[in-house]
Amino acid sequence: MRGWMVLAATAALAACGAPDTPGDGDREQGLAASVADPGSGTTVALPRGFGVFPGAQVINATTLDQGGQRGTMLVMQSEAGPQAMVDHYREQAASAGVEIAVELDTNGALTIAGESPAGVSMNFTATPQDGNTNAMLTILEPLPPPLV
């Protein structure tokens, strides 16, 4: 529970298109899509059920590894409005079993965050700026137990 609160705060502070492509190796790990970071060209995997907002440009894609969890952070920009993007990720969260527990509207910046019973936490913030929407999606999931 505390994890999604930290994610919500991080996304809200940071919020001042590449298409997703499934990879066979990713599916074996419970991951459904890969996104290339435009700066480095590094491929970042997204958990099953999540993808890039249609038509959005990926600004940055980062892999996270924090205390027993792994995840992805995507920074995107879209011509769509913040509410359309939030609605899209609310649907993706529901499909992935993530129950939205936090909804914020901070001066037009919209944030949703939640967690699944399996421990997958998700945070999405969309902020209008100069006729576009800047957005950040962060998803963390527990690492599988080590093989013995």
Per-residue confidence (pLDDT) for residue 30, from 0 to 100: 45
Q: Report percent pLDDT > 70 for the chain.
A: 74
Write down the pLDDT at residue 69: 87
pLDDT at 38: 72
Query: Does position 28 have pLDDT exceeding 50, yes or no?
Result: no
Q: State residue 46's pLDDT score.
A: 81
pLDDT tens profile 85-125: 999 999 999 999 999 999 999 999 999 999 999 999 999 99
Sheet with 109-115: list strands edge to edge.
57-66, 69-78, 132-142, 121-129, 109-115, 99-106
Q: What pLDDT is attached to residue 65? A: 84
Residues 97, 119 contacting (CB under 8 angstroms): no
- The whole-number pLDDT of residue 80 equals 97
Query: How far apart, in whole angstroms, are the C-alpha atoms of residue 90 and residue 83?
Result: 10
pLDDT score of 99 = 97
Give 33's pLDDT tier (boundaries 50, 70, 90): low
Share of the chain above pLDDT 90, in %: 53
Question: 27 falls in which pLDDT band (50, 70, 90)?
Answer: very low
Extents of the domains making up the chain: 2-142
Residues 6+ apart with CB under 8 A from 25: none
Domain 2-142: CATH architecture, name and number where available = Sandwich (2.60)
Confidence of residue 37 (pLDDT cuts 50, 70, 90): low
CB within 8 Å of 46: residues ≥ 6 apart: 20, 31, 32, 33, 34, 35, 52, 72, 74, 139
